[in-house]
Amino acid sequence: LRGGKEDSRGALVVLEGLDRCGKTTQSARLVTNLERLGYSAELWRFPDRTTSVGKIISSYLSNESQLDDHTIHLLFSANRWEKRSLMESKLKSGTTLVVDRYSYSGVAFSSAKGLDIEWCKAPEIGLLAPDLVVYLDIPPEKAAERGGYGGERYEQLEFQKKVGHNYQVLCSPTWKIIDACSSMEDVEEQLQEMVLDCVKTCREGKPLSCLWS
Ligand code: DGP
Ligand code: NA
Ligand code: NA
């Protein structure tokens, strides 16, 4: 496998965007494509609902339980922290990780409820920094039309508009933006090109770093 070389590491690639922007479909296709090209790659997602913390989050998202906004924020963060060491070892062993949502979701969604943005960023300090953040850009109205929202807690147009605004605040010039209203094939192709570039840079020795850098 390419990427399995002892001295080369995998890339940490994060996909972000509003609910129904196509992230989940595109991250799965990307992993399939990377593997087809001979790279070692895995699909990850946050929240990871399989852990004990993840189960609390899942119950909160489906409105089966209520939690204070700060409390759930810290649980989302804890859910990323509990995967940090596995993330680092996978990357160091040469596997590229394609991650469906990360700390940026944490900040964009929680600050949409009115929490202070710096307070929201603080618990993410020290998590691994992505090598590439791709934002799948879709107007909230368009996202809402896509087969309807699934009925989870945050899947409401007015809330998603605030989240979209917060992503604009968080967005740095290093982010790559793809128009998520393009065809699935176009998005897939653009994404793959960006990621292959990034994978090469990491293989050539780009060091891992930590948030918020
Ligand atoms: P998903 O499984 O990707 O559909 O995400 C579930 C929902 O949770 C989605 O509306 C985005 C939101 N979300 C994801 N990560 C975080 C986070 O860290 N904090 C908060 N407040 N919301 C998040
Ligand atoms: Na969702
Ligand atoms: Na998703």
Dist. CA 164 → ligand 2 center (Å) = 14
Q: Is the CB of 154 inside a 6 Å radius of any atom of ligand 1?
A: yes
Instruction: Pick the ligand that lies closest to the CA of residue 109.
Output: 1
pLDDT in tens, the chain (213 residues): 555 455 699 999 999 999 999 999 999 999 999 999 999 999 999 999 999 999 999 999 999 999 999 999 999 999 999 999 999 999 999 999 999 999 999 999 999 999 999 999 999 999 999 999 999 999 999 999 997 788 899 999 999 999 999 999 999 999 999 999 999 999 999 999 999 999 999 999 999 999 998
Q: Which amino acid is at 24?
A: T
DSSP state, residue 141? H
* CA–CA separation, 191 and 11 (whole Å): 14
pLDDT for position 205: 94
Beta carbon of 111 within 6 Å of any ligand 1 atom: no
Residue 84 to residue 78: CA distance in whole angstroms: 10
How many Å apart are CA 157 and CA 39, to the nearest integer? Answer: 38
Report the distance separating Cα 138 and Cα 152, nearest Å. 19
End-to-end Cα, the chain, rounded Å: 30
Substitution site in 46, 102, 105, 110 for ligand 1 pocket (most atoms within 8 Å of beta carbon): 105
d(CA 175, CA 156): 25
Structure-token match 């009925």, residue found:
151
For position 6, what pLDDT does the model report? Answer: 54
Token reading at 37: 């090209």
Helix (H) or strand (E) holding 15: strand 12-16
* Residue 22 Cβ < 6 Å to ligand 1: no
- Per DSSP, 128 falls in state B
Ligand nearest to the CA of 73: 1
Task: Report whether the peptide linkage leading into residue 212 is cis, meaning its omega lies within 30 degrees of zero.
Answer: yes
**pLDDT at position 1, please?**
58
For 103-170, the three-class secondary structure string (H helix, E strand, C coil) is HHHHHHHHHCCCCCHHHHHHHHCCCECCCEEEEEECCHHHHHHCCCCCCCCCCCHHHHHHHHHHHHHH
CA of 63 to the centre of ligand 1 (A): 13
- Torsional class of 107: left (φ above 0), alpha (ψ -120 to 50), beta (otherwise): alpha
> To 5 degrees, how large is the angle CA 14–CA 18–CA 22?
70
CA of 55 to the centre of ligand 3 (A): 16
